[in-house]
Structures are given as C-alpha cells and as structure tokens.
Amino acid sequence: MKLLHSIKIGLADIYYIWRREYRAVFQDFGVILFFFALPFVYPIVYAAVYNPEVVREVPMVVVDNARTPLSRELAREMDATPHVRIVSYCANMDEAKRMMHEKNCYGILCIPGDFSKKIERGEQSVVSFYSDMSILLHYKGFLIALTDVTMNLGGKLQTQSLGGATQEQINVATQPIPYASVNLYNPESGLASFLLPAILVLILQQSLILGIGMLAGGIYEHGRLHLFYSGREHMHNNVLHLVVGKALCYFSLYVLCTAYILHFIPWLFKFPQIGSQVEIYSFAVPFLLSSIFFGMTLSVFVRERESSFLLFVFTSVIFLFISGITWPRYAMPEVWQWLGAIIPSTWGIEGFVRMNTAGAGIYDVRHAYTMLWILTGVYFVTTCLVYRYQIWKDKKRGFSGLLESE
Amino acid sequence: MSEQTENKTGLWATIVREMRLLVARPAYVLCMVVAPLFCSLFMLSLMHEGLPHKIPVAVVDLDNSSSSQSFTRQLGALESVDVHYKLNSFTEARELMQSGDIFGFLMIPEDFEAKALAGRQPEISFYTNNAYYIPASLLYKSFKTMSVLASGAVVRQVLLSAGAEESQIMAKLQPVASDMHALGNPWISYSVYLNNSFLPGMLQLMILLVTVFSIGSEIKRGSSREWLRTADDSIIIAVTGKLLPQTIIFFAVGLFYLAMLYGYLHFPMQGNIWHMIAAMFLLVVASQSFAVIIMSIAPSLRIGLSAAGLVGVLSLSIAGFSFPVQAMYLPFQAVSYVLPVRHYFLIYVDQALNGIPLYYSRMYYVALILFAVASTPLLPRLKKALMRHVYVP
C-alpha cells in the first residue's frame, strides 16, 4: 500500500511540475519564440532559399579560334544543354578573361585554331575549358555539359567515318558497352532535397536547446529555482519528478512542431518523402527525448536568459557538419566521429534522411535508433545530476531570490 | 585604484571599462576567442583530405567472368572508390544503400563478357544515393569514367585487330577530347572551397551576437547611463570605446584565420595578402556596425539577439557560398547584398582565389566601408534608447 501511495504522490508531483512548466513557457515571450516561431519560420525560409534545387543556364563565353561549322556546332550543343548558357562569343582570351573578371560569365570554352583540321586528319582534337571555382555547382554543371557534348560529338564523327553502316553496327562500334545511371532518392540531384531534411531535424534540436536554455537562464537569473522544490516537501525534493515533469511539458509541446517539421514541410515543398510516416514518428520519439535531456543538461551553463543565444547558436553549424550529411562520417577524423556520436542530431539526421528520403524502414536504421535511446538514457542521468547539483547549490545559498510563491 | 578609474571619463576610460566587462564574463571569452578558434580547427581538420576518399560501394556482379572481375578490380583501384561488398542481387544492394553502409553500387549484367565479345551491347548500370550529395557526385563521376573506359577497351581491341596503329586509336576512340581547367582549385578540394567562405561567415555570426549582447546588456542591467557618463555623454565615444577592444580581438581572430588558410595550409592565394587583410578588417568593422544598426532600430537585448542570430545563421546560406545567389529567387538575391560577408566572399574570390586586379573588387570594398559608416546616422536614436533604458524581457 505504501508503494502505491508513493506512486500516486509521485504522479501528482510530476503533474504539478508539468503544469507549472507550461505556465513558465507560455508566460515567457522569448521561449514562445524559440518553441513555436522559430520551428515555424526557419524551415520555410530555408526551403525557399534552396527551393530552385538546381543551377541552370550558368553564363559562359566561347573563344572560337577555329571558326568552322564543326566548332560552331560544338558551341551550339553546349548552349543547348540545360547547364550552361553562352552569353558571348569573344574574339580572344583577353576579352573572355575580362568578361570573367567582371563576373559576366563563369566559364570559358576555348576551341583551338586547328580544331577541325586535326579531326579531318584523323587526329584527336582537344578543346579547353576554364572554369571559375568560386561555386562548385557551376563547375559541376560545366563539367557535365562539356563531357556530354564532346562525347556525343565524338560519337557522331565516329559514325560518319563508318559510312553506310546500319544503326546497330554504329551503336556497337561507338559504344560496345552502354551504361545507365540512376540517381536514387534525389533524382534531380537537388540541393534542397539533400540539405533540407538535415536542417529540419537540426531545427527541432536547436530550438529545444535554445528554449530550454533560456528558461533555465531566467530561473537562474531571478533566483527562482526554489519554487520548483520548496512547498513540495512531502515528495522530498525528488529530482526525478522535476526532470520528468519538465521533459513531459517540452515533449508534449513538441509533438505539434515535429509533425509540422518532419511531415508537413517535406510534403509542402515536395521533397522526397517515401518513408512510412508512422515509423518516422516512432523514430522521432527517442530523438525528441534525447534532444530534450541534452538541452536540459546543457542548460546548466546558461546563467542568464539571453546567453542562451551566445552559447548555442554557433553550435548549429558544427552540428550540421558533424552529422555527416555533407562530409560523410566515415571520412572524418576519429575524434569528430566520437563527438558527433554524442549529439542527438547526428543520429536524428542519419535516421530521418534514410527513412524520409531513402524510404528505409525503422529496422534499417536500428543503429541510429538504438543510439538515440542510449543518448536519451545518458542525458537523462546527466540532467538529474546537474539538477541535483543546482538545487544543492541553491539550498546552500539559502533560497536567494524573491519568494513570490503563489 | 579602482576609484580613480571610475571617476575618469573619456575614450580611454570607456575602453578600460569595456575591457573589465569583457574579462569579467566567461561568455565573452568563449564567444570571441574559444568558439571561433574551435570552429576553425573543427572545419579544417574535418576536411583536411580535401575530398572524401575511398567511398564504400558495392558491386553486383551477375556475370562472374574474368572480364567482370577485372572491371571490379579496376573500379576498386580508383582513389574515390572502395568496393566494400560484392553482392548477388539488386535487393541486397538496395538494402545496404538504405541502411547507409554504401553510397552507391554498380551492376554488371549476366553474360557481360560473352555479350561484349559478340558485340551485343551488355549494359552496365550504376546507382548513387543522391541524398548524400558529395559522395554521390564523386561516385557518379567514377562510375561513369569506368563505364566509358570499358567501352573504350573493347573498341581499342577491335581497332587493333583491324590493324589500326596505336597512334590512330585515341583519335578513333575519342575524336573530341576536353581539357578542364579548374582555376585556382585544381584539386577540387572541398576544404579550400568551404572553409574560405564558412569561417568568415562564422566570424560574422559571432561578431553580430557579441556586439548586440554587449550593448544590450547595458540596457538590460540598467548601466547604460553610467556607460554614457563614462564617455562624457557622447554616444560616439561611448560606442567607439565599447567596440574598439572587440574590434581588436575579432580582427586578431580574423588574422589567425588568414594565417591558417593561406600561411599554414597554403590555400590558393593568387593575389596580394594585404588585400585580404584589409577585407578581413573591413568585415569585422562592417559586422560590428551592422549589429549597432540592429540595436539602434530595436534597442532590446532579446530582439537584438534574435535578429543577430537570424542574420548570422541565414548568411551562411543566403550569401551564396554553396548555392549560387544568381540561382536564388529575386528577394533573396537582394537580401544577399545587405550581408557584409557576401562582399567579403566576393573579395576573396577575386583577390585570393583568382588573383585578378584590385580594380574589379572595388565595389565590394566600398560596400564594406558603407556598412561600417552606415550606423553613424542612427547613433542619436541609440543614445535616446540608452537614456531611457527600458528592459523588455
């Protein structure tokens, strides 16, 4: 009976903290911004920035020193690709360079004077391309266009030299082993479809960390920590209740945000979304819990409401890179792999990208899923420890603050 | 000693007062020195290889002939590819792809060798996981190269048997060849590409946050009048005295970045290093001024920090480091030019990466100078707010 009684009181205590925390959240405009405005607005802004997905029609110029029908055909074929657009035909390289310096173009195709002569003599003809490297997407477009166009033109020339062959013979002669390339999961190789899923997961975690940090900073600043444990003496300042009650509050608030960010936004912007939503939601549970406890643990460093910004905003960039979405995890130095492994977003991003974008089931991402549960456990313990420590320190100072209990 | 300085007023007294504040709070040291240095060490060591090497892939070899095995071996010999798995079915490969063990796979069809010899065009197919952009791009390139080479090998054999000479073969195989010159970054290194723009972007973020925080804290703590008094009630002296120590620290961090990038790591530096040093100094001052503008318009610590965080983080995307500005929607193109780091980035491209005459970058330097002075007309407004010092939580 005693056990039953203490469970009952425990639940009542958790419920009390939970309700109290709701009030704390909704009375704090700054926290409302972090918990609701930030997760609402940032995904839309980011999605809009990257929404064009691909780069088309990058300006380039041609320096055609050959001026033959064949060289003109080469330039025309380049212009016809989706990747580039010829903005000018320059008389010489100096003129082309000037165009490039003035940022009127990002690439120069240089066709040598003996271009056609060499081909007619049965020699190999080489064209040169100079690409600006400030934006790798430009370079990539140029490279694909140039390779495709020169290979097609070469194939055509080979065909002509065969004279009178049937189509099949031509095919065998020019491309005895054809190939097919398939871009899985992100068919147009779009930048938004690749980057946004990772950013979405990160927004969930970072807004939680920032908001929880701000709440903790406010409590510390105004010396109001004792309100969470004094007056509840019958439960004897049970840290467990405090931590669970608060976590329940954040978790319940974030159910909506999670649905919006992980379900609605990919649908709205037509990102690849081929996973099972039910499984994604069940994957999100340990992700949210570990992020909440991670944020609660980190909140011990926040001594002032606003220093939450200073401490946590810059970590977003680091967490994004360390997750391995751009630079694959296996290629990182070991120390960063380890650091990445203790950040919930690393596993959250890995799991979400695979499930949402690549259609994996929760069984396929079991490693990430398990890691998130482990992190939940670890950060739960650390949260209890830091809360215990803070309460201990607060008591030692003797409730230094205004006693504005209700 | 302390009483003496408290009574003193003027620029020097304001500077001393600010330096005391800076060392008194660990958050400042963290944000001005520790975080920027950590970011540079993190980013530079993360990508020190330049490109991810040995990307794990699978080969589904349904032929198992000597030709297909030799093809697989040659694929594995590429620097960017590591044939981690040899599988027997598409489904296995797809599952490995979904669980993230491989970033791509290549399928060699049944009767590959027999068909190739008989001229019946066996088709090689390859699949890349484009949810991971960089590995997928590199794998696409490697797979395509190997497939084209396989075709070439067959044609070469046919031509040789028909009595062609080696010298003629290249012309027959590939009548039009291309020679790609990646100007300034011939290794196509991602480290060169990303760090030159992201590190200054991070620095701008920290400058915005710290500047806003240091001005906003005065308002929040109700010490803004005392701050103005120390500066003889001159807002110019007050702001100069407050920001000058920070300018020096941030500029020192910026110089450290430049030394790391162009000195220690020998990243491309085709122009004059002084042009970059000047750009770095202007970036620091322009970002500080940007933060002062934010605080003048919205003199509240929280709103200021929200704005600074928003601008600082979005800069990394909107300034066009990875996705070019020209390809963005028009409003974002406009926004990109009101970000100091965008102009710094363009100076870097001109002066360090391409090393073109300073003349072409003149407008970007002018833009940064304009940012630096743009806050002065707003200072009276800031002064008024400081005199009122109302703290909105």
Q: Do A177 and B147 touch (CB under 8 A)?
A: yes
Whether A402 has a pLDDT exceeding 70, the answer reads no
Task: Report the pLDDT value the prediction gives residue A123, as an integer from 0 to 100.
Answer: 87
Rounded to whole angstroms, how far apart are CA atoms A148 and A3? 75
| CB of B344 less than 8 A from some CB of A | no
Instruction: Write out pLDDT tens, residues A108-127.
Output: 999 999 999 999 888 889 99
Tell me the average pLDDT of chain A: 89
Helix (H) or strand (E) holding B86: strand B81-87
Task: Report the pLDDT value the prediction gives residue A122, as an integer from 0 to 100.
Answer: 85
B144: left (phi > 0), else alpha (psi -120 to 50), else beta? alpha
Q: Which residues of chain A are within 8 Å of residue B48 when distances are taken between CB atoms?
A: 333
Burial classification of residue A330, based on how many CB atoms lie within 10 Å of its CB (0-12 exposed, 13-18 middle, 19 or more buried):
middle
Instruction: Write out pLDDT tens, residues A317-374.
Output: 999 999 999 999 999 999 999 999 999 999 999 999 999 999 999 999 999 999 999 9
Q: Do A185 and B353 touch (CB under 8 A)?
A: no
Band of the pLDDT at B99, cuts 50, 70, 90?
confident
| CB of B373 less than 8 A from some CB of A | no
- φ, ψ for residue A326 (rounded to 5)? -95, -55
Instruction: Write out pLDDT tens, residues B201-234.
Output: 999 999 999 999 999 999 888 888 889 999 988 9
Band of the pLDDT at B3, cuts 50, 70, 90?
very low
Instruction: Write out pLDDT tens, residues B21-48.
Output: 999 888 899 999 999 999 999 999 999 9
Residue A299 DSSP one-character state: G
Q: Which residues of chain B are within 8 Å of residue A325 when distances are taken between CB atoms?
A: 132
Q: Looking at this predicted complex, what is its ipTM?
A: 0.90
Rounded to whole angstroms, how far apart are CA atoms A89 and A96? 8
Rounded to whole angstroms, how far apart are CA atoms A286 and A120? 67
Distance from CA of B376 to the nearest CA of A (A): 26
Q: Do A119 and B46 touch (CB under 8 A)?
A: no
Tokens standing for residue A393: 């320190």
- Amino acid (1-letter code) at residue A277: Q
Instruction: Write out pLDDT tens, residues A142-156.
Output: 999 999 999 889 888
Q: Which residues contact A67 (CB under 8 A, 6 or more apart)?
A: none
Instruction: Write out pLDDT tens, residues A224-236.
Output: 776 666 655 555 5
Band of the pLDDT at B390, cuts 50, 70, 90?
low
The mean pLDDT of B337-350, rounded to a whole number, is 94
Orientation of helix B340-347 relative to helix B301-318, angle to 10°: 30
Band of the pLDDT at B240, cuts 50, 70, 90?
very high
Instruction: Write out pLDDT tens, residues B265-321.
Output: 999 999 999 999 999 999 999 999 999 999 999 888 888 999 999 999 999 999 888
Rounded to whole angstroms, how far apart are CA atoms A139 and B323? 12
Distance from CA of B384 to the nearest CA of A (A): 23
Task: Report the pLDDT value the prediction gives residue A230, as an integer from 0 to 100.
Answer: 64
Rounded to whole angstroms, how far apart are CA atoms A15 and A10? 9
Q: Do A358 and B350 touch (CB under 8 A)?
A: no
Q: Do A182 and B393 touch (CB under 8 A)?
A: no
Distance from CA of A27 to the nearest CA of B (A): 11
| CB of B147 less than 8 A from some CB of A | yes
Task: Report the pLDDT value the prediction gives residue A403, as an integer from 0 to 100.
Answer: 40
Q: Which of A124, A174, A182 sits opposite B127 (nearest CB)?
A: A182
Tell me which chain A residue has its CA closest to the CA of residue B212.
A310
Task: Report the pLDDT value the prediction gives residue B1, as an integer from 0 to 100.
Answer: 40
- Topology of domain A58-174 in CATH is abc type-2 transporter like fold (3.40.1710)
Distance from CA of A4 to the nearest CA of B (A): 43
Q: Which residues contact B146 (CB under 8 A, 6 or more apart)?
A: B71, B74, B75, B78, B106
Task: Report the pLDDT value the prediction gives residue A405, as an integer from 0 to 100.
Answer: 37
Residue A103 DSSP one-character state: T
Q: Which residues of chain B are within 8 Å of residue A123 when distances are taken between CB atoms?
A: 171
Other Cβ atoms within 10 Å of B167 Cβ, number: 10
Whether B386 has a pLDDT exceeding 90, the answer reads no
Other Cβ atoms within 10 Å of A178 Cβ, number: 16
Q: Which of A161, A172, A311 sits opposite B119 (nearest CB)?
A: A172
Domains of chain B listed by start with CATH number: 2-47+189-388 (no CATH), 55-173 (3.40.1710.10)
Q: Which residue has the higher pLDDT, A163 or A356?
A: A356
| CB of B258 less than 8 A from some CB of A | no
Rounded to whole angstroms, how far apart are CA atoms B104 and A14? 49
Band of the pLDDT at B242, cuts 50, 70, 90?
very high
Tell me which chain B residue has its CA closest to the CA of residue A334.
B46
Give CATH 3.40.1710.10 domain extents, chain A. 58-174
Q: How many inter-chain contacts (A to B, CB under 8 Å) are there?
A: 318
Residue B223 DSSP one-character state: -
Instruction: Write out pLDDT tens, residues A181-194.
Output: 999 898 888 889 99
